[in-house]
Amino acid sequence: MTPEYDPTVIRPLAGLSASQSGTAERLGLTADELKEHEGVTSEGFAQLLGAAMVRYDEAVGELSLYP
With CB under 8 A, what is the number of residues at the site for other proteins?
A: 25
Looking at residues 42 to 61 of the shown chain, list those that interact with other proteins (rule: CB under 8 A).
42, 45-46, 48-49, 51-53, 55-60
- The closest alpha carbon to 51, from 21, 22, 10, belongs to 22
Measured at the CA of 17, the angle between CA 56 and CA 64, to 5 degrees, comes to 25
Candidate list 27, 31, 32, 54; residue touching other proteins; CB under 8 A: 27
Distance CA 34, CA 52 (A): 16
Distance CA 32, CA 5 (A): 25
Q: Considering beta carbons, is residue 12 or 41 the nearer one to other proteins?
A: 41
* Interaction site with other proteins (CB under 8 A): 27-29, 37, 40-42, 45-46, 48-49, 51-53, 55-60, 62-64, 66-67
